[in-house]
Chain A
Amino acid sequence: METDEQVTIKVDGELAIETVEEFEAATARWTGSGKQIELDCRCLAFIDSTGVSGLIKAVVRWQASGAQVAVNNLSDDLKEMLGILGFYEAISDQG
């Protein structure tokens, strides 16, 4: 979903070694768009370490281009897993 100021990207299914390239290709177009970016992870069922790396790269890339980025609606399990990994420090340190 896209407005003049913001784009919401829904991340569905699994973000893993098999799908991360597809995720990177689909999200690269928003780099430098000048919009706020929201990743809606309501339907994200699973993320492995390669998926986490892809997610960090996308968020850091957007932040470096000046975008405000939010990663929302993660399940409690995924939120905890990303917290343990240091994901939130990694993206806030770059932003």
Chain B
Amino acid sequence: MSCHPEVPYWPRKEPDEVQWQRELRFAERVQALMSGMKSVAGAGAEAAGCSIPHYAVGGDYFDILPLSDGGLRVIVADVMGKGFGAAMIMTMVRSAVRSATHAGLAPGALLKHTNDMLYEDLQQVGAFVTLSCTDYQPASRTVTVAGAGHPYPWLMRGENPTVRIEARGVSVGMLPNRRYQEQVVAVEPGDRLVVYSDGIVEARESDGRELGIPGLESLVRAVTGQRGREWLKAVLFAVAARAREVRDDVTLAVVEFGDNKK
């Protein structure tokens, strides 16, 4: 079968179940390479993240990229839908994001670049992508956040109320030629920045209700004495223990700020 109208039927052997499973296992390894749990330290901050696809592969993506000034860039993206198609689009997003980072683009410009690069393709397949980009700048002890339709990152400081950093912007692939604003927020040692995809707050509890933002926040605040990967695992285990059903890909990333010493 050909998926392109102008390409004739191509005589080939149809894959059997063994071949499909082989391809699936390889796809899972590629997915884990891109979005498996990892942590990266910068000057005065450490970031960790993890994506869990709903099926074998999925459309959530996160990245932690060191910046030339010793800072860190944290990306969380969520492609519409689940499964193989979403995963393929996710790899396109990852390439656009990494090329923009390599070119030294700031968060807002990175989102514009990604939308400019992918808009036509996403329109063709009827998909969109939500994307959050956060840069930590150690010299100024600030984070710069830009968002394209993505849930707002949280800044958590001790027992203070959680601050939602409202970086607003249209999802990638929805409209052409978009510009994305940036929010700049000061951070202090001990602060924690949390970025997530909506799959985690859409998890259903035993009564059928969504965990929701308040539910996730209560689970996050209940995890004490842990940092980095251990903190991530503790939160994800807490969500898994409370959820009857998770319906989508899930991503959770955290940046923890310390003194400006690496």
Contact = CB atoms under 8 A, between A and B. Distances in A.
A85 interface: yes
* Interface size range of chain B in the complex: 20 to 34
Interface string B163-185: 00000111100110000000000
A48 B247 contact: yes
Contacts of A10: none
Contacts of B248: 48
Contacts of A89: 170, 174-175
Contacts of B152: 84
B81 A50 contact: yes
Interface in A46-95: 46, 48-50, 52-53, 56-57, 77, 81, 84-87, 89-90, 93
B86 to A, nearest CB: 9
Contacts of B51: none
A49 B247 contact: no
A41 interface: no
Contacts of B130: 49, 85
B149 A84 contact: yes
A85 B20 CA distance: 35
A48 B202 contact: yes
B128 interface: yes
Contacts of B127: 53
A44 interface: no
B42 interface: no
A7 interface: no
A39 interface: no
5 contacts: A46-B210, A49-B79, A49-B81, A50-B81, A85-B171
Interface of A: 16-17, 46, 48-50, 52-53, 56-57, 77, 81, 84-87, 89-90, 93
The 5 closest A-B pairs by CB, nearest first: A86-B170, A49-B80, A85-B149, A90-B174, A86-B149
